[in-house]
Copies of this chain bind each other. A is one copy, B any other.
Amino acid sequence: MELWVTEEHLKAVRLSYKITETLYHGESSFQTIDVVDTVAYGRMLLLDGLVMTTEKDEFVYHEMISHIPMLAHPNPKKVLVIGGGDGGTVREVLKHPSVEEVVLCEIDGDVIDVSRRFLPSIAGKLDEPRVDIQVRDGVAYIAEQKNRFDVILIDSTDPIGPGEGLFTEEFYRNVKAALTENGIMANQSESPVANPREIRLVYTLLGKVFPAVVPYVATIPTYPGHYWSWAFCSESRKPSDGFDNPVAAELEKDCRFFNRDVHKAVFALPNFVRERIYGEAGVAASC
């Protein structure tokens, strides 16, 4: 018998992966959680049937959401990750020697437990002493935080389901208020290929809150559209502030996607991406 897991997008594209084993299936209070072992991409975590991360390509997403904003901050000590229960973003943040505390605010404790159990290469740093895990709704949590975090990373699911509240103007305003001076936020901002409506919405909302909103892009084989975007947002910092950060030289030795060439290249948006973010006559913000 052959087992395959299939993710379907917009009733038009199906991505199917042959699996050798179903490792976990469960219903949390928020969503269905599955872990399967795929032939092509190793172990794969799915939430409500959507691929969240795989052992073999997770490094792209986690290195991109963390190192680009972290390096642009002169001295990031306190970092907040909202979502990201698999632990991959926390693992990358901890590679920065200045970090004293990473708060992981994940709404679904089961995602953390399942990741610890089945995805140790991703979740393996969640027990480090610098990590404070808060199993809470990120929307409520962020509203209580003022002037506290140097970097905030929104490692959310899509704008449907438990992640919906993480894509609103009010949420972004609360994130801004939770940042310290020189603070930087980055979030995943969907696929320029698969989510043209969502990406436009995200950048419209972010542009109302942050004076500098700079998109960047990379290939993620197992995500819809296979081309993903993140937004760098700050009141005072810009991505290029990180280009000469001496931390980058050490960091790139311990990364599978990031290096100093990639650091600059991810801000080059192809014409069709500029159009989808900024409209037909769109001009990209300078990085």
**CA of A13 to CA of B261, assembled, Å:** 30
Residue pair B262, A268 in contact (C-beta under 8 Å): yes
**CA of A227 to CA of B57, assembled, Å:** 12
A252 at the interface (CB under 8 A from B): yes
A152-196: which have CB < 8 Å to B?
193
Residue from B12, B39, B57, B255 within 8 A of A12 (CB atoms):
B39
The residue on B at minimum CB distance from A217 is: B219
A264 at the interface (CB under 8 A from B): yes
A101-109, A141-149, A269-277: which lies at the B interface?
A269-277
A140 at the interface (CB under 8 A from B): no
A259 at the interface (CB under 8 A from B): yes
Size class of the A contact interface (CB-based, 8 Å): 35 or more
A184-211: which have CB < 8 Å to B?
193
Residue from B15, B225, B268 within 8 A of A261 (CB atoms):
B268
**CA of A177 to CA of B271, assembled, Å:** 36
Residue from B39, B257, B269, B274 within 8 A of A11 (CB atoms):
B39
A28 at the interface (CB under 8 A from B): no
Which of A59, A252, A271 has the most B CB atoms < 10 Å from its CB? A271
A117 at the interface (CB under 8 A from B): no
A226 at the interface (CB under 8 A from B): yes
A30 at the interface (CB under 8 A from B): no
Residue from B221, B255, B262 within 8 A of A227 (CB atoms):
B221
A1 at the interface (CB under 8 A from B): no
A18 at the interface (CB under 8 A from B): yes
The 6 A-B residue pairs with the shortest CB-CB distance, nearest first, are: A265-B268, A226-B226, A265-B265, A261-B268, A12-B39, A14-B16
Residue numbers of A with Cβ under 8 A of B are: 4, 9-18, 38-40, 57, 59-60, 193, 218-219, 221, 225-227, 252, 255-259, 261-262, 264-272, 274, 284
